[in-house]
Every structure is written in C-alpha cells, then in structure tokens.
C-alpha cells in the first residue's frame, strides 16, 4: 500500500510539474485551425487572437521547408470583434508546411514583441471528398459568391446560408470549379455563416452603405472585467477611437449605474481618439456576477464596451484586470520637447501619450512686448547707475582746488565805497 501511494504521489507531482512548465510556453498569440490535417489545394481557415499593433494578410505566409512558398497563394485576413480570421487556398504539392506570422509587432504582458509565430501544417493526399473554396469568409455588402470544387471524386454538395435559410444542392465533378450565389439580406449587422457539407464559412453581415460612409468605433481596452465588491465606486479611463470616417453627435450611455464624461461628443475626426472617464457604481446585489455594457451610438449605429465583474464579499479578493499598455501610435500621439498636449495624457509603451493635439509652445505677443519693455528699463537703469558712479569718481586736481580758493579770496577783498567786510578772514 505504501509503495502504491508513493508511486501515485510521484505521478501527480510529475504531472503538476509538466503542467507548470507548459504554462510558461503559452503564447500571447494563438492560432486555431479549422482542421487537424489538410489535402493539397484544400482551403485552410484559422482564427488568430493576440494584441497586435498591426496585422494584415501581408504578414501571414505559407512556408515549406523554411522558405516562403513560391506559388501565389489565395489568402485574406479580416479583424472582427478583436479576432483575426484568416483563410488560404493551400499549395498543390503534399509535404510539411507551416503558417507563419512575421514582420509585425504584438504585446505580451505589456512588452512589445516581434518574434515569428508559427503553426505546423501537413498536406497529404486522401481518398476523401475534401473541398477547396474561395473566399474563406465574407465581409461584403453585396450578394455572396462562393467558388467551390471537389479535390477527390465526384460528390454531392449541400450549402445553406444560416441568415436567410437559403439552401443550394449541387453535384460536383472532381476538380471542376462551380460558383454558388446567395442573396445578401437586409438585416442588422451580425455574424452568420454558410455551411457547405462539413465546412463553415463565416459571414460578417454589414449594412449596405457606401464605402465613404463607413462608421467604426473602437474601445481601448475592449472590455472591463475583474473582481469587485458592492457599495463601492470604480474609476476607469477608456480611449474611444474613430477608425472610420468623421463622426458627429456620438452619445455614450450604459445599462449599469455609471457616470460617463463626456456623455456626448459633437465631432470626432477620422483616426482620432478621445479619452472617456467612466465611474462605475456597484450597487448591492444578490448575484455573483455583474454584466453590462457601455454603448456608443452615432447615426443609429451601436458599438459596445462589455462589462463583466465577479462579485465578492472579501475586499482582499478585489482585482481589476489591468489594461494592457498599448503603443502611443494606437491611441494618440507623442509630443516632442517643443510641444504641449492640448488634452489629457495617458501612459503607453513609449511613455506619456497625448489624447488630443500636440501644439507648439508659442509666447503671446503681449508677453513679448512686456518682456522688451522690462529689458529697456533695465538697460536704462544700468546706464544711469554707471554715469552716477563715474561722476563721483571724477576728482579735482590740486591746481584746480588752489585756483578756485584763490578766486574766492580775491572776491572777498574787492569792495567799493559802500561795501563792508564781514565774516572771518581766515575763511576763504
């Protein structure tokens, strides 16, 4: 019994040790593939999560044996609700490949990283009717067209658009490409999908609006969460970023007890940001979780900042998830030494970041005039003092003193008939 217990304890300790080691290797960026294995020419779909400074399809590559694949690869990338969706039609040759993200920056625990992120992919021919389709997702505001073909053998295809329940049935001939068409519905913005046999193509429904009327608002951070106690107020600084065209009359409100400043934004220029101060009052509630949201509304478009807090009675357990520091280029601008921030400053990876305009420090004309007048007065005072000092230092010579006294003496002894001498003779 003792040996069995001891062996079990050792196994448990070993498992725990391996688990702790594994935790250290968890990346700040995760790539989730739609399948474990693929055939050549099959469509790869992936979801990428991570706090990237910037990421587009030019940063995602298909590699084979350490080299970027020479064939043109059909691929695309989109960011929806802080998740990147990627797809690529894979090369024709079987072998060991990898999906690589490179030449971009991302944040990991507040530190800026630029390491290559890699996911291994193996391509093998299979006697299975896998499909190649293009595109691998939709963000279009027009009717949906899907090009599809069977990679092995003839097969029956059933395609269904979830949003409208429109269904297509098609008989596919091996390697012959066909096109499916689905009508885009007049529905609010939402996530839907087209199901083709066992494949799912995400469809991000957007309103049918002109490109120059695109409206897009981002909250930074994109959520508020943590552990709180009731009967207390919590303060948050949130950056509101306009990632679309110029916006007017933005209203901010919440379904929770909050104080938001400002509540209204008259105008927010494209690619500009503004700092929002949010005070959240946690009322006494019986639930163990507080859920809600901050809403930004403009031109009948709604954008949300999710709020999710666990409620505790023990104040020592209170923990507000710290917002990851972003690069200043994401939220504002860095002012140089000759500029000042006409707005509020927040911390970023580069230091103080201005949420507003960086303006040049210019002294007013009145200040310049006053300064010049004071300088002139100071110069005149100095000149006056110098003259006075020189006058005091200019002493008379002995000859001049003797000549002056002699003149006075002669003057005293020259009198007329009516003149009378008075005073002491020894006083000249």
Question: DSSP string spanning 73-100?
Answer: --EEEEEETTEEEEEEEPPSS-EEEEEE
pLDDT computed for residue 341 by the predictor: 87
pLDDT computed for residue 259 by the predictor: 95
pLDDT computed for residue 42 by the predictor: 93
The answer to whether residue 426 sits within a structural domain is no
The answer to whether residue 12 sits within a structural domain is no
* Residues 173 and 237 reside in one and the same domain: no
* Residues 316 and 334 reside in one and the same domain: no
The answer to whether residue 1 sits within a structural domain is no
Output the domain CATH number for residue 310.
2.60.40.10
Q: What is the DSSP letter of 58?
A: G
The answer to whether residues 124 and 95 touch, using CB atoms and an 8 Å cutoff, is no
The answer to whether residue 14 sits within a structural domain is no
* Residues 250 and 318 reside in one and the same domain: yes
pLDDT computed for residue 195 by the predictor: 93
| Alpha carbon distance 2, 393 (integer Å) | 112
| DSSP characters over 135-184 | -SSB--SS-EEEEEEESSS-EEEEEEETTTTEEEEEEEPBT--EEEEEPP
Output the domain CATH number for residue 145.
2.60.40.1930
* Residues 320 and 372 reside in one and the same domain: no
Helix (H, G, I), strand (E, B) or coil at 310: strand
The answer to whether residues 261 and 276 touch, using CB atoms and an 8 Å cutoff, is yes
Query: Which residues are CB-contacts of 65 (< 8 A; sequence separation ≥ 6)?
Result: 95, 96
pLDDT computed for residue 71 by the predictor: 59
Q: Which residue, of 306, 324, 342, is where some domain finishes? A: 324
Q: Where in 312-350 does DSSP place strands (E)?
A: 319-320, 339-348
| Number of domain units in the chain | 3
Q: Against a cut of 0.75, is the pTM above it?
A: no
Read off the tokens for 134: 């293009």
pLDDT computed for residue 2 by the predictor: 46
pLDDT computed for residue 22 by the predictor: 42
Helix (H, G, I), strand (E, B) or coil at 269: coil
| Alpha carbon distance 336, 359 (integer Å) | 9
* Residues 201 and 216 reside in one and the same domain: no
The answer to whether residues 243 and 264 touch, using CB atoms and an 8 Å cutoff, is no
Alpha carbon of residue 188 to chain centroid: 27
- pLDDT one-digit tens code per residue, 362-390: 655 566 788 788 889 988 898 888 887 77
Closest to 358 measured CA to CA, from 377, 337, 374 = 337
Low-confidence ranges of the chain (pLDDT < 50): 1-3, 5, 19-26, 208-212, 416-418, 425, 427-428
Closest to 34 measured CA to CA, from 206, 205, 166, 193 = 193
The answer to whether residues 275 and 346 touch, using CB atoms and an 8 Å cutoff, is yes
The domain in which residue 340 lies consists of 329-386
pLDDT computed for residue 199 by the predictor: 93
pLDDT computed for residue 43 by the predictor: 93
| Alpha carbon distance 163, 228 (integer Å) | 39
**φ, ψ at 157 (rounded to 5°):** -120, 135
């Amino acid at each position: 019994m003792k040996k069995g217990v001891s062996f079990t304890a050792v196994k448990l300790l070993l498992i725990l040790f391996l688990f702790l080691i594994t935790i250290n290797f968890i990346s700040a960026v995760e790539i989730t593939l739609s399948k474990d294995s693929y055939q050549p020419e099959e469509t790869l779909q992936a979801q990428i999560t991570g706090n990237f400074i910037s990421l587009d399809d030019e940063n995602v590559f298909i590699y084979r044996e350490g080299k970027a694949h020479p064939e043109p690869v059909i691929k695309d990338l989109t960011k929806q609700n802080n998740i990147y969706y990627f797809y690529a039609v894979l090369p024709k040759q079987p072998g060991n490949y990898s999906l690589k993200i490179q030449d971009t920056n991302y944040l990991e625990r507040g530190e800026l990283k630029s390491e290559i992120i890699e996911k291994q992919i193996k391509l093998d021919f299979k006697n299975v009717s896998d499909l190649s389709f293009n595109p691998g997702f939709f963000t279009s505001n027009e009717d949906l067209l899907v090009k599809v073909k069977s990679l092995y053998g003839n097969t029956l295809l059933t395609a269904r658009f979830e949003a409208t329940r429109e269904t297509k049935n098609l008989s596919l001939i091996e390697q012959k490409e066909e096109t499916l068409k689905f009508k885009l519905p007049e529905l609010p913005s939402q996530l839907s999908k087209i199901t083709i046999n066992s494949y799912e193509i995400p469809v991000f429904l957007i309103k049918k609006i002109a490109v120059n009327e695109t409206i897009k608002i981002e909250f930074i951070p994109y959520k508020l969460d943590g552990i709180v106690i009731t009967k207390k107020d919590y303060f948050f600084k949130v950056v509101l970023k306009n990632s679309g065209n110029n916006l007017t009359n933005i209203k901010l409100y919440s379904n929770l007890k909050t104080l938001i400043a400002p509540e209204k934004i008259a105008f927010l220029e494209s690619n500009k940001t503004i700092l929002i101060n949010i005070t959240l009052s946690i009322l006494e509630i019986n639930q163990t979780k507080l859920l809600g949201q901050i809403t930004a509304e403009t031109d009948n478009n709604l954008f949300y900042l999710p709020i999710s807090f666990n409620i505790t009675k023990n104040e020592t357990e209170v923990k507000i998830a710290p917002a990851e520091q972003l690069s200043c280029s994401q939220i504002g601008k860095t002012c140089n030494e000759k500029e000042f921030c006409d707005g509020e400053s927040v911390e970023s990876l580069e230091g103080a970041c201005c949420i507003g305009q960086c303006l040049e420090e210019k002294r007013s004309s009145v200040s310049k005039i006053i300064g010049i007048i004071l300088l002139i007065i100071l110069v005149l005072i100095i000149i006056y003092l110098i003259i006075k000092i020189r006058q005091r230092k200019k002493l008379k010579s002995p000859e001049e003193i003797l000549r002056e006294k002699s003149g006075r003496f002669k003057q005293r002894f020259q009198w007329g008939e009516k003149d009378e001498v008075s005073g002491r003779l020894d006083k000249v």
